[in-house]
Amino acid sequence: MAPTIRDWTSKFLFGGPRSTANLIGVCIHTTENDPSTPAENVANYQLNTQSGSYNTLADRKGILRENTADWITWSTGNKGNTLLMHLSFVARASMTRAQWLAEDAMLRNGAWEVAQWCKKFGWPVRHVGVAGLPGITTHDATRAWGSTDHTDPGPNFPWDVFLRYVNEEINGGTATAPAEEGTIMAELTGVSATALDIVRRGVTTLVTPLQSVINPARSFLLTDLVRFIDATSWENRVYLRELLRSQGKDPDEIRDEAIKADREGK
């Protein structure tokens, strides 16, 4: 269920425009306030001092949006500010796991917003360092890019719980695990599958990395893979036609004859 949303995006005017085409993932932060602090207090402080900003704050009550996706935030070093969507919990990086788990409403509120971003941009729901993007990374991990020394959201952030909530939101509020290909096919052909369920699982498939057959250590997003196949097949077609023409052969004639021969052979 959607949390209470406070839209303050018209107030946060420092930063500047950025292209959403460059966005590659989510960055998780803590504001370093007591978890009882209302997000409005944090946002007002940031506005008054122009000391920082995020895309969205998550507190116990819901979420507060500071900047839209097409606006530069002041959240990490320069690179992270132009490449990532920033979600900050009104909490502290020093919190223990027990203290985090006590903030269940806040975790769910933040997970809801991150799920919207992962769905919108097709990012996989996985915790990664900056080299592993697209996915969900941290302010701590962006230190690899330089010009920042923060280590939030801290070593005890409950990734297992948080990622489960993000996945649940993407899967339509159920606890469904990402579907295997075989399961999807069974559902597509089975009488018990509902169209809605297939659509939900389809969304999961789009954000679940596909393992390479050639090198199992590598994985791809389905959307990226289709774009790559499209570009590669087009390129191969251009090369091959040019090669045939250079040998005095007509590529269209070869194709038409092959189609004819195939159809006659049934």
Question: Angle CA(195)–CA(163)–CA(96) in degrees, nearest 5?
Answer: 155
d(CA 194, CA 226): 26
Positive or negative, the Cα torsion across 208, 214, 217, 220? Answer: negative
- Among the residue ranges 58-66, 151-159, 174-182, 254-262, the one whose residues contact Zn ion (CB under 5 A): 151-159
Minimum distance between the CB of residue 128 and Zn ion, rounded to whole angstroms? 17
Binding mask 96-135 for Zn ion (x = CB under 5 A): ----------------------------------------
d(CA 111, CA 163): 7
Q: CB under 8 Å to 138, separation ≥6 — which residues?
A: 27, 28, 29, 152, 153, 157
Q: Does 86 bind Zn ion (CB under 5 A)?
A: no
Of residues 139 and 200, the one with the C-beta less far from Zn ion:
139
Minimum distance between the CB of residue 56 and Zn ion, rounded to whole angstroms? 13
Q: Does 150 bind Zn ion (CB under 5 A)?
A: yes
Using CB under 5 A as the binding rule, the residues of this chain from 11 to 30 that contact Zn ion are 29
d(CA 261, CA 255): 10
Using CB under 5 A as the binding rule, the residues of this chain from 28 to 57 that contact Zn ion are 29
Q: How many CB atoms neighbour CB 27 within 10 A?
A: 28
Of residues 93 and 125, the one with the C-beta less far from Zn ion:
93
Chain residues in the site for Zn ion (CB under 5 A)? 29, 139, 150, 152
